[in-house]
Structure 1
Amino acid sequence: MSKRDLITFITLSFMWSLSFVFYRIGVPEFGSLAFASLRVIFAGLVMLVFILVKKKNREGLRKNWQLLALVGIFSAALPFVLFSLSAQSVNAGVLAVLNASVPMMSGFIASTFFKDRLSKKQVLGLVIGVIGVTILMSESLFAGNESAEGLLAGLLPMGYALLACVGYAVGANITRSYLYHVSPVAITAGSLIIASVLMLPVAAYEFPYGQSISLQAWVAVICIGVFSTAIALIFMNQLIKNIGPTRATSITLVIPIFAIILGYVLLGEALDTRAVIGSIVILIGTYLSLELSITKLLRS
């Protein structure tokens, strides 16, 4: 990995970890659906430039719009809405750790539905990851809630985040299996533009008209759309090209570290022992499921 790639890797980790902080700032004022919709729309507007300036990207969108629509729904529209719902009560660090389970879910879906076999190490990683998620949810699962409503209220926010990860995993497998011949920029641009068109009526309907939206909330939704979505995905595509998808995907192991620190510093979120332990277990499971080697990751 070159110094330039390492800088890109760290920068991208920081940009994506900030997205979970932006959720916590913007969602309370905009509402979950409006915030998620605006995120997609701002990202789609940025990526529209790449469609307009390069013919190859336009052709990729025109020839594959049906599949790109599916990728846009599973990898953008649905996950953004679900993470926004989760962000109402789950702190930024835990959201980032749950997001790190995407590679595990992607491997499971690839093995189950796309006939990609998992190694023993990957299966072990999946099992450890599930244990980590259980630890994160343990307060709601084993706190002795007297009613089913109380249990559901405790688990539902994290369930939203996990469903969002399933969406990311489905979108990734569709891309890998059916869009391998399309350039990464065209895939990103096409999926985000189509997703933004689909989410435009939702944004118009759910926007909190008549309510005063703070400058902080507007900055959060613009930054998460432009920097933590559109530009971040461009960086990710470049990183995949330079160092390969496996090492690039390992960025999910670094994002939670930034997110937990930023949540603590910027939002005053507590460093809960249960969350820290669960996070570590999930990261170990993700590391194993990716079949990564620290030595190889640091080697050029």
Structure 2
Amino acid sequence: MTKRDLIIFFTLSFMWSLSFIFYRVGVPEFGSIAFASLRVLFAGFTMLVFVLISLENRRGIRENWKLLTVVGLVSTAIPFVLFSFSAQSVNAGVLAVLNASVPMMSGFIASTFFNDKLSKKQILGLFIGLVGVVILMSESLFAGSESDTSLLEGLLPMGYALLGCVGYATGANITKNYLQGLSPIAITAGSTIIASMVMLPIGLYEFPYGKSISLQAWVSVICIGVFSTAIALIFMNQLIKNIGPMRATSITLVIPIFAIFFGYVLLGEALDLGAIIGSAVILFGTYLSLNISFKKMLRS
């Protein structure tokens, strides 16, 4: 892993962690499904600009449209919808823990279907990172549960989120193994534009017509679509090509650290000892799973 990859990794963590702030502002006004649909639509519109100004990107999308359709569905459209359903009844802490299962799923898919073996150090790092996420989100995990909620009603929304994580992991592996010759911009443009076409009727149906939407909510949905989806996915696809799907998706272990920091600074949320300890554990686990050498990076 090079210094450039590491910079992209933490820049992407920063950009995706802002999604928590955007969701907090926009979802209450738009509704979860409408907000997710608009997120994909704004991402698709943004990437359409890249397609229109680049003949190479258009050619790449035409030649790989079938695979890009699969990536757009399994790693963008379907997961966003599944997480939207899940977010209606599962709190943010549990969703963060579930989302952190992506690198483990990605590593399993890579080693099972693509013969991409993981080192013992990487596997250990992933487990340590997951432990850190549980520590980080322990208060959210066990707070606010209702005793009268049935087991099925409690598990089904979590199942939606886990299925969405499978989609993220599957899309990352498809990108790494079948779209290596395509630029990250073309991959992102093709997949998000296709996903936005799928989400358009959902967004039209779920949009809260007749309701006054604040400027802050509109800014949030535009920012999450343009910066935390379109631009972020360009970085993510570049990272997948450079360091592989398992190490790239381990970014989901770091995102809660940034999210808690922004929650503390921007939303006035509590920052306790558990958050500090969990963050330290996550950073150590991520360091192991990325299998990086700071000495080699400094030499380069």
TM-score, normalized by the shorter chain, greater than 0.5? yes
Q: Using the alignment, how far apart are the partners of 1:165 and 1:112 within structure 2?
A: 17
RMSD of Structure 2 on Structure 1 (CA)? 3.6
For structure 1, the residue ranges without an aligned partner over 5 or more in a row are none
Asked whether the equivalents of residues 97 and 283 of structure 1 are also in contact (C-alpha less than 8 Å), the reply is no
Asked whether the equivalents of residues 57 and 183 of structure 1 are also in contact (C-alpha less than 8 Å), the reply is yes
Deviation digits for residues 225-263 of structure 1 (CA, Å, limit 9, x no counterpart): 01111123334556778xx43687675555333211111
Equivalence for 1:245: 243
Q: What letter corresponds to residue 203 of structure 1 in structure 2?
A: G
Aligned counterparts, 1:191-230, within 5 A: 191-230=191-230
Q: Using the alignment, how far apart are the partners of 1:164 and 1:299 within structure 2?
A: 40
TM-score by length of 1: 0.80
Q: Could you say what secondary structure the match of 2:212 adopts?
A: coil
Q: What letter corresponds to residue 245 of structure 1 in structure 2?
A: I
Equivalence for 1:63: 63
Q: Could you say what secondary structure the match of 2:67 adopts?
A: helix
Asked whether the equivalents of residues 107 and 289 of structure 1 are also in contact (C-alpha less than 8 Å), the reply is no
Q: Could you say what secondary structure the match of 1:210 adopts?
A: coil
Asked whether the equivalents of residues 21 and 263 of structure 2 are also in contact (C-alpha less than 8 Å), the reply is yes
Q: What letter corresponds to residue 182 of structure 1 in structure 2?
A: L
Does the C-alpha gap of structure 1 residues 277 and 108 become closer, same or farther in structure 2, counting only changes over 3 Å?
farther
Q: Using the alignment, how far apart are the partners of 1:229 and 1:208 within structure 2?
A: 22
Q: Using the alignment, how far apart are the partners of 1:85 and 1:295 within structure 2?
A: 45
Q: What letter corresponds to residue 48 of structure 1 in structure 2?
A: L
Equivalence for 2:78: 78
Query: Quick check: 1:264 aligned with 2:261?
Result: no
More off after superposition, 130-139 vs 283-292 = 130-139
Q: What letter corresponds to residue 31 of structure 2 in structure 1?
A: G
Q: How many residues align?
A: 295
Aligned counterparts, 1:36-115, within 5 A: 36-87=36-87, 90-91=91-92, 99-115=99-115
Distance apart, 1:114 and its partner CA: 2.1
Deviation digits for residues 68-95 of structure 1 (CA, Å, limit 9, x no counterpart): 011111221123234444555534x775
Does the C-alpha gap of structure 1 residues 142 and 239 become closer, same or farther in structure 2, counting only changes over 3 Å?
closer
Distance apart, 1:22 and its partner CA: 0.7
Distance apart, 1:172 and its partner CA: 0.4
More off after superposition, 161-170 vs 67-76 = 161-170
More off after superposition, 198-207 vs 138-147 = 138-147
Distance apart, 1:17 and its partner CA: 1.6
Percent of residue pairs identical: 72
Q: Using the alignment, how far apart are the partners of 1:219 and 1:233 within structure 2?
A: 19
Distance apart, 1:265 and its partner CA: 2.2
Does the C-alpha gap of structure 1 residues 299 and 13 become closer, same or farther in structure 2, counting only changes over 3 Å?
farther
Equivalence for 2:125: 125
For structure 2, the residue ranges without an aligned partner over 5 or more in a row are none
